[in-house]
A and B are shown apart, each in its own frame.
Chain A
Amino acid sequence: DVKVTQSSRYLVKRTGEKVFLECVQDMDHENMFWYRQDPGLGLRLIYFSYDVKMKEKGDIPEGYSVSREKKERFSLILESASTNQTSMYLCASSFNRGGADTQYFGPGTRLTVL
């Protein structure tokens, strides 16, 4: 069965803290993605990776960075958290078969920055 897990369901941090969100997939997928979800805005792509140590900016990368040291793990980093980064963060993964393969999503991490 397909599985994408995220390290925390709920997280509360203070402004200025460094925050790590971890995502692990067990499907040997090449592609991994980080989205943030806000009411009325749908999902917006922050960063994605199509191979180990590779990363590409999505639509809203400002204030975020990512790390992919192993194929199964993709980390989202907030270097200095701010209140406008309070949101739901969703990780996804997919095969890279040359077309738009199905993305499988984790349960999400609801981050609150105080």
Chain B
Amino acid sequence: AQSVTQPDIHITVSEGASLELRCNYSYGATPYLFWYVQSPGQGLQLLLKYFSGDTLVQGIKGFEAEFKRSQSSFNLRKPSVHWSDAAEYFCAVAARGSARQLTFGSGTQLTVLP
């Protein structure tokens, strides 16, 4: 079975600084990979996803993520963080084949300082 690890429970950055959120997955082949964001009191919104092809994926709100097969990682990045980016971020993985189910990481809470 697949699994996802988000090693950082909480990250604090200053507004305008760059951001990288880490995600490592465990799966025997190349999975489908997702990043979701959850603002306070809201459901989850998809930021970006990787299915195949170019390993650098662009998403909404200026986010990008890079799939690195050798490191089993799918880290999320943003060059300049805005105060509105404060939220909880979830990485998720789905196995190829019967790929309806997502396995989520435990989340990273992002705080943005003014």
Which bracket fits the contact residues of A?
20 to 34
Give the docked Cα–Cα distance between A45 and B100 (Å).
Answer: 11
> A94 at the A/B interface (Cβ < 8 Å)?
yes
Q: Tell me if B44 and A90 are in contact (CB < 8 A).
A: yes
Q: Encode contact with B along A43-71: 1 for CB under 8 Å, 0 otherwise.
A: 11100101000000010000000000000
B51 touches A100 (CB 8 A): yes
Query: A48-B100, A94-B100 are known contacts. Are A102 and B90 too (CB-CB below 8 A)?
Result: no
| B94 partner residues in chain A, CB cutoff 8 A | 100
Query: Are B43 and A42 interface neighbours, CB within 8 A?
Result: no
Question: Which residues on the B side are within 8 Å of A100 (C-beta)?
Answer: 32, 34, 51, 94, 96, 99-100, 102
A-facing residues in B96-111 (Cβ within 8 Å): 96, 99-107
Q: Shortest beta-carbon distance, B8 to chain A, in Å? A: 13
Tell me, yes or no, whether A31 is within 8 Å of chain B by CB.
yes
Q: Is the CB of A43 within 8 A of B90?
A: yes
Contact B43 A90 (CB under 8 A): yes
CB distance from B44 to the nearest CB of A (A): 4
Residue B102 contacts which of A4, A40, A103 (CB distance < 8 angstroms)? A103
Q: Answer yes or no: A41 CB below 8 A from chain B CBs.
A: yes
Q: Is B46 at the interface (CB under 8 A from chain A)?
A: yes
Residue A96 at the chain B interface, CB threshold 8 Å: yes
